[in-house]
Amino acid sequence: MQAESAIVTADAVELAKAAGVEYTAYWIAQYVYVKGASKELVNQLAALRNVVSVAPVEVYKLPELVEVPADLSVQNSTVEWGINIVDAPKAWARGNKGKGSVVSSIDTGVRLTHETLQANFRSANGWYEPSTKSKLPNDRHGHGTHVTGTIAGLNGIGVAPEAKWIACVGCPAGSCPQTDLLACAQYITCPTDTDGNNPDCKLAPHVVNNSWGSNQNGNTWYEAAILAWRKAGIVPVFSNGNAGPNCGTVGSPGDSPSVIGVGATDSVDALASFSSKGPEPLQKRIKPDVSAPGRSIRSAGSASDTAYATFSGTSMAAPHVAGAVALIVNANPGATYETVYKLLANTVDTATLKPSTANCGGVDNSKYPNNDFGYGRINANKASTTKPAC
């Protein structure tokens, strides 16, 4: 892949070199970022045979979060409601806490020293921050720490507390430049050291959580990176967006047919009012694929090593699914994306769900999959105990 990309981007790279400007070539998607390009250079780049388009770098925002004051009376040993409702403790009782799985996130970072996360960080090529090359995991925002806690945190906040985690900062300070997101896509595929050197594709994670996106749909700029993950055996999980409750509000990349898009439910199995709905407008694809707890989710906070925070958003739902993938991989080493998808989709809970009266995309909400919940709300225990179909 890297050799092919080098050939495709060679002319653009040579032009940037000749102009004496800073540039970065991203092999994962055959993009070249040119910093400070003049109008003349832009026109020269646009005229190249292998250049499809030239555009400014876009910056995505993390979905807005609704923070609820943490209940200080809740003890650290308490299993959070979202973990309970997806039946993760039943999987734990069978001895499956995700051991042997490696999970990852592209987010704002992770507070390494948090009491629920420090023990299961994988130090070997386990951290990359493209913009600063920081040496140790950190989080100046809080979103990424919360997300990683839900995936793999100890003390009852994470679905897969024995999985190892790695992370890449694609959204420093809550904003997600395309350049950082592409750098992180490469890192996830072939993890590097903290300077971005010494890549080792054998250290790639089993699943990557992406609790970021846009309110636009049909945007395919990240699809090449997603397909590279799929080819490498990495399961891509994306939040569906917080633009609900109207139909057709799912954003990209969560609307991609190549990812597991996740909607948000509450503690009584109703769809969260903010959860974006399908269908994907262009192909009328049903989205989300599945749903998971996303309202009033308590997880690790970044303010201190013992801090906890309660947030709402599909950003909180997606990591429940990523954690469930870790349990599936523990039970089914080498499971493919297709196997993981089928296990999640075929073992959902639907009987307790409370669909809305709006049948988005002409799909009956009393049937599944639909454009509210997808196939249904995940059940991590059933997904990790069901035998994959041959």
Distance CA 146, CA 165 (A): 13
Of the listed 143, 146, 206, 320, which one is catalytic? 143
Task: Write down how long the chain is.
Answer: 390
- Cα angle, residue 321 at apex, residues 331 and 67 outer, rounded to 5°: 145
Nearest to 261 by CA among 327, 182, 345, 339: 345
Q: Which residues pair with 317 in a beta bridge?
A: none
Nearest to 174 by CA among 34, 292, 65, 301: 65
Distance CA 16, CA 35 (A): 9
Torsion angle defined by CA atoms of residues 375, 221, 210 and 329, in that order, rounded to the nearest 10 degrees: 60
Residues 6 or more apart in contact with residue 127 via CB below 8 angstroms: 134, 136, 137, 166, 167, 168, 194
CA 94 to centroid of chain Cα atoms: 27
Of the listed 5, 101, 107, 299, which one is catalytic? 107
For the chain, how big is the Rg over CA atoms in Å?
Answer: 20
- Determine whether 107 is an active site residue: yes
Mean pLDDT, consecutive 10-residue stretches, the chain (390 aa), reads: 71 91 94 93 92 92 65 59 98 98 99 98 99 97 98 98 99 95 99 98 99 92 98 98 95 97 97 96 94 97 95 97 99 98 99 92 96 99 90
Nearest to 41 by CA among 21, 25, 59, 26: 21
DSSP code for 362? G
Domain 60-385, CATH homologous superfamily name and number: Peptidase S8/S53 domain (3.40.50.200)
Look up the pTM and report it.
0.95
DSSP 253-316: TTT-TTSEEEEEE-TTSBBPTT-----BTTTTB---SEEEE-SSEEEE-SSSTT-EEEEESHHH
Domain borders along the chain are 2-56, 60-385
- Determine whether 11 is an active site residue: no
Q: Which residues pair with 44 in a beta bridge?
A: none
Residue 265 in tokens? 């439910």
Of the listed 302, 315, 356, 384, which one is catalytic? 315
Nearest to 194 by CA among 124, 131, 134, 107: 134
How much is the pLDDT for 65? 61
The answer to whether the Cα torsion of 111, 112, 113, 116 is positive or negative is positive
- Determine whether 312 is an active site residue: no
HSE of 111 in the Cβ direction (CA atoms, 13 Å)?
A: 23
CA dist 284 → 220, 257, 287, 360 (Å): 15, 11, 9, 10
How much is the pLDDT for 389? 78
